[in-house]
Structure 1
Amino acid sequence: MTKSTNRMLKDFMLFQDLNDEELRQVEEICSQRIAAKKSIIFTEGSHKEAVYFIQEGLIKTYKTDESGHEQIVSFLKAGDMFPHTGLFNANPYPATAEAIVETSLLAISVATFEGLMMQMPSIAIKMMRVMGDKIKELQDKLQMLSELDVKHRILSFLLLLAEQHGLSKAEVITINLPVTNQEFANCVGTTRESVNRLLSQLNKEGLIQVERNRIIVKDLEALKQLRETK
């Protein structure tokens, strides 16, 4: 591993408090991988081999129902790790992970990662926080899907993307996420046509600007108010 990799480890919350010697130990058990655009890192139900950390790029995780339809669980960016659940049991991967764009990853075998947490309690504590945050996010999404109508689900998810993936500049938020409207629909349990209609409406009203591979939020407060309107 190179010094640049050492610095990159500091980008991950789990490793931010490690000293140079501890970072060196982590480097020794990491391997670097490049996932091509649209490539599968692992599939739902396959043997759990490694924990992954995103250096650069985007990953989506999704489950597939009996009819073959995708239900997207999450979009993950640089600084995130996956999977978040099931690390401490022998169960297979709980979802499929796919690279949305070419993605640079660090990988650590599951057994080695468990040993690392035994050696470094600070990493174990942070891991519990990460998992707690992910559980809260999934609970919020479940509540959104079960309690809100289609319009409010789409608005809530759009605001979530702005919060998690948006870049703010001069009161404008740019969401650089090359996600299709079908993938957007798969996240909120609706049809592509419903997403198309609402995004087109918001675009005409000047609240957002839909471009290729990105959405520009022009009026965040107006979107929030619209979401709160019953």
Structure 2
Amino acid sequence: MGIEELVQAVQSLNTDDAFHARLDAAQWRTLGAYLTGYQARPGDLLIRQGDADRTAYFLARGTLQVYVPGAAPALSRIAMLRPGAIVGETGLFSAQPHSANVEAMTAVTVWALHLPRFEELVQRAPAIAIEVMRAAGAVLVARMRANMALHIAVA
């Protein structure tokens, strides 16, 4: 399980909410030193609604489902995430609880950026940390706009 697989996935994902970090290969290697790799099986919860986990996850392999448990069937599934996506990015910005569950639909490989490690990155490689925040913020904006558009269409 190497960072190269994640870099390839991030660079090839072409969605409105893709994590478009402008990092070169050396910067990705530096960032990779601050990430922790995890494997999950189908059905495993990566993020639980209501938890205030301060971790962003980068999906290197597999498929994740984002959903709100107990919501009306038409509104329960929020997204299906493919390799290259970031999820839980709100944890880098706020200690607020997560608003949805994130479940592995297939076997997945994710790379976690825990807040204490991100804070170390801020101190040791601020340019990389700023780029991660810029790209994660752009993801937040894209998802907020998509959510607003969905609510306007439903209303």
The normalised TM-score by structure 2 is 0.76
Give distance in 2, aligned partners of 1:66 and 1:108. 29
Give distance in 1, aligned partners of 2:89 and 2:150. 16
Match of 1:87 among 83, 92, 101: 92
Work out whether 1:103 is the aligned partner of 2:112: no
Sequence identity, in percent? 18
- How much is the aligned-residue C-alpha RMSD, in angstroms? 2.8
Match of 1:129 in 2: 138
Give distance in 1, aligned partners of 2:81 and 2:48. 16
1:178-217 maps to which residues of 2 (within 5 A)? none
Q: Once the 2 structures are TM-superposed, how far is the Cα of residue 52 of structure 1 from its aligned partner?
A: 0.7
Letter in 1 for 2:33: E
Give distance in 2, aligned partners of 1:140 and 1:21. 38
Give distance in 1, aligned partners of 2:60 and 2:122. 21
Letter in 2 for 1:64: P
Q: Which structure is higher in RCO with an 8 Å CA cutoff and minimum separation 6? A: 2
Q: Once the 2 structures are TM-superposed, how far is the Cα of residue 131 of structure 1 from its aligned partner?
A: 1.4
Give distance in 2, aligned partners of 1:135 and 1:84. 13
Q: Quick check: 1:84–1:134 contact (8 Å CA) kept in 2?
A: no
Work out whether 1:73 is the aligned partner of 2:78: yes
Give distance in 2, aligned partners of 1:144 and 1:84. 26
Q: Once the 2 structures are TM-superposed, how far is the Cα of residue 10 of structure 1 from its aligned partner?
A: 4.5
Q: Once the 2 structures are TM-superposed, how far is the Cα of residue 61 of structure 1 from its aligned partner?
A: 1.3
Going from structure 1 to structure 2, the CA distance change for 1:16 and 1:84 (only over 3 Å counts) comes to: closer
Going from structure 1 to structure 2, the CA distance change for 1:117 and 1:65 (only over 3 Å counts) comes to: farther
2:68 aligned counterpart, secondary structure: strand
Gaps of 5+ in 2: 12-18
Going from structure 1 to structure 2, the CA distance change for 1:90 and 1:8 (only over 3 Å counts) comes to: closer
The normalised TM-score by structure 1 is 0.53
Work out whether 1:6 is the aligned partner of 2:4: yes
Q: Once the 2 structures are TM-superposed, how far is the Cα of residue 82 of structure 1 from its aligned partner?
A: 0.4
Give distance in 2, aligned partners of 1:125 and 1:64. 30
Match of 2:30 in 1: 25
CA deviation map 1:140-167 (0-9, x unaligned): 2212322xxxxxxxxxxxxxxxxxxxxx
Q: Once the 2 structures are TM-superposed, how far is the Cα of residue 20 of structure 1 from its aligned partner?
A: 3.4
CA deviation map 1:167-224 (0-9, x unaligned): xxxxxxxxxxxxxxxxxxxxxxxxxxxxxxxxxxxxxxxxxxxxxxxxxxxxxxxxxx
Give distance in 2, aligned partners of 1:144 and 1:95. 21
Going from structure 1 to structure 2, the CA distance change for 1:66 and 1:126 (only over 3 Å counts) comes to: closer
Work out whether 1:59 is the aligned partner of 2:68: no
Match of 1:112 in 2: 117
Give distance in 1, aligned partners of 2:91 and 2:97. 8
CA deviation map 1:71-120 (0-9, x unaligned): 22221111111024353122122211111111111111033335546712
